[in-house]
Structure 1
Amino acid sequence: MSESPLPALPVTFRPGRTRAVLLTVGTVMFVVITAVALMLERLGPGERVSFVFTAALLFGVLVMLSRPKVVADDEGVTVVNITRARRLAWAEILKVNLRPGDPWVFLDLSDGTSLPVLGIQPGIAKEAAIRDARALRALAESRGTVAERV
């Protein structure tokens, strides 16, 4: 089996298409809801502010959903999911898994837990996610004890 070439470090993996869709939709929603609030003549100032606040809240949720990424460097990996970030040393990563049907990559860790990695997800760009998972696995193999194939 041909091994994936190791990417130059530091490298960041993120679902680019998903991120672009979420940020575009969020921006359009914010602009449209704000425009509607300003155009409706029957709304008072408080109601207009509540429209804009709701639009900003929806935009903020979509920004949070677009946040996931994985940053690999010489010392280890930083996994940024929707609300949390976790720093891992290479030695902590035992397996990098992306099985058919998985919504994202999972890391099996030396403490016996599994960590979801939302920064590599095959939803919109399956081939890119497989390529990124293989690259992360190759990096982990070269620096740790990973044995699982993606």
Structure 2
Amino acid sequence: MTAKPERPASSPAQALPVTFRPARTRAVLLTAGAAVFVALVVISVLLPNLSPGERTSFVFTGALLLGALVLLSRPKVVADETGVTVVNIATSRRLEWAEIVRVNLRPGDPWVFLDLTDGTSLPALGIQPGIAKQRAISDARALRALVDARSGSEAEGSADTDRNSGDSGDAGNSGDAGNSRATDAD
């Protein structure tokens, strides 16, 4: 295990890197996957009239289901000094702090959405309120605080002040709106 913290502190000046991931959802998926795999292997061993091909198909099916559940448990968001890495089910994307305009977790959202400077929105499945709603809200607020702190400091030091001041202004204004949205989800 590494020494990096899994749960973020409430201050934006916390130690980085910070990893946000739905721990309970991950535990449920991995436990269910292992249980299904073991059950299918045991069934393939205990049924007396199965041919070797049928036994292999039971084991292969269990491995396939376990693999699918491991893939579903993959999402996480890692924030470090230079930016954020969003790992979703099948993709991974690296973002610089200045690329993130806003962190959204509105009532009813299945996960956090990151509004980006190019006008698109990136789902961040690593923060999802499914099983642990309060943790997801606090994680979204912590990520929002990190974005506000890091984007603001980069905008001040950038040569392209017009673009970055607009971005940091949007992040500041929408951060307040996003914060009230996250509070509404309570």
TM-score, reference length from structure 1: 0.96
What does the per-residue CA deviation read over 1:16-66, in whole Å, with 9 as the maximum and x for residues that have no partner? Answer: 000000000100110001100111111000000011000000000000000
Specify the SS of the correspondent of 1:94.
strand
Task: Measure the CA separation in 1 of the matches of 2:122 and 2:91.
Answer: 11
Q: How many residues align?
A: 147
Aligned counterpart, 1:5:
11
What does the per-residue CA deviation read over 1:46-93, in whole Å, with 9 as the maximum and x for residues that have no partner? Answer: 000011000000000000000000000000000000000000000000
Aligned counterpart, 2:156:
none
Q: Does 1:78 align with 2:85?
A: yes
The structure whose residues are more often helix, as a share, is: 2
State the AA in 2 paired with 1:34: V
Aligned counterpart, 1:65:
72
State the AA in 2 paired with 1:138: A
State the AA in 2 paired with 1:5: S
Task: Measure the CA separation in 2 of the matches of 1:87 and 1:111.
Answer: 14
Specify the SS of the correspondent of 1:115.
strand
Task: Measure the CA separation in 1 of the matches of 2:42 and 2:117.
Answer: 52
Q: Does 1:119 align with 2:126?
A: yes
Structure 2 spans left out of the alignment, 5+ residues: 1-9, 152-167, 180-186
Deviation of residue 8 (structure 1)?
1.6
Aligned counterpart, 2:24:
17
Task: Measure the CA separation in 2 of the matches of 1:111 and 1:58.
Answer: 37
Bigger Cα displacement from structure 2, 6-15 vs 51-60: 6-15
Aligned counterpart, 2:109:
102
Task: Measure the CA separation in 1 of the matches of 2:123 and 2:58.
Answer: 35
Deviation of residue 112 (structure 1)?
0.7
Specify the SS of the correspondent of 2:16.
coil
Structure 1 spans left out of the alignment, 5+ residues: none
Aligned counterpart, 2:60:
53
Q: List, as ranges, runs of 4+ consecutive aligned residues in structure 1 with deviation greater than 4 Å.
A: none
Specify the SS of the correspondent of 1:108.
strand
TM-score, reference length from structure 2: 0.78
Deviation of residue 5 (structure 1)?
1.3
Aligned counterpart, 2:184:
none
State the AA in 2 paired with 1:14: R
Task: Measure the CA separation in 2 of the matches of 1:109 and 1:28.
Answer: 40
State the AA in 1 paired with 2:125: L
Q: Does 1:132 align with 2:139?
A: yes
Question: Identity of counterpart residues, as a percentage?
Answer: 68
Structure number with higher relative contact order (C-alpha < 8 Å, ≥ 6 residues apart): 1
Aligned counterpart, 1:87:
94
